[in-house]
Chains A and B, each alone.
Chain A
Amino acid sequence: MKIQHMGQKKNHIVITVEGRMDAVSAPEFEQFLNGLIDEGVLKVIVDFEGLDYISSAGLRSVLITAKKMQSKSGEILIVSLHDTVKEIFEISGFSTIIPIHASVATALETA
């Protein structure tokens, strides 16, 4: 898994995640987002276009960080899920509780 900070778009920090988010790599995602929260970042767009795979451990990390940001009146927007990962979000029911957008551009329109 590879995480990159892509800079700021409007009020949101954009990060990209590539590869697989599983039980081994998910803590890395959490640490990265915790680092942003510690810097005072409260609005994040997570671009999953390069994400090939996510397991329940990955979803748990997304959920934990989303809740942490919401408790500080911030938000996480998830964008660009491809089919395999989208299916996992749908089966889990997460797609109804965490905002998912088609692209960074459409996320910013509604944000």
Chain B
Amino acid sequence: MAKIGLPAEMENLEELLDFVDKEAHKAGFSARRVSEVRLAAEEVLVNIFCYAYPETDGDVSISCFVKEDFFVLEILDSGTPFNIVSAPCPDASSCLSERYVGGLGIHFVKEMTTEARYVRENGQNRLTLVFGKCRQK
């Protein structure tokens, strides 16, 4: 299992995502699927950077492993409890001016993962994202 932990700051986004890219690539995923894994990871991380630690500094860690045919990401932070799995998605049919773009990231996470699980344990948010070799439409 490969792991990376860094302060939850926007300046660390590329390093964290490049790590995820490299591990998904090593797992034998296609370039297109790696890009979808990266997208889900970015949306989760940006959300953590923006909302998990409103008044303090904190860290985020990512563990990657392969289980059977699946690539699994576990993302942990010690910030404000937030269950991205149960958060509402935007209405994709609303018009340009009404669109709630903020919810799009959550929509992407749900679209790109085969399965997403959330638990709050030991004062941490633990999000498990499971990716099959292809996106299920």
Contacts and interface: CB of A to CB of B under 8 A. Distances in A.
A60 B101 contact: yes
A101 interface: no
Nearest to A24: B13
Contact of A55 (B93, B97, B105): B105
B59 interface: no
Interface residues of B, number: 24
Given A24-B14, A56-B108, A88 B95 contact: no
16 contacts: A22-B17, A23-B46, A24-B10, A52-B35, A53-B35, A55-B42, A56-B104, A56-B108, A57-B42, A59-B101, A59-B104, A63-B101, A67-B96, A84-B35, A92-B107, A97-B99
Interface of A: 22-24, 52-53, 55-57, 59-60, 63, 66-67, 70, 83-84, 88, 91-93, 97-98
Interface of B: 10, 13-14, 17, 32, 35-36, 38-39, 42-43, 46, 92-93, 95-97, 99, 101, 104-105, 107-108, 111
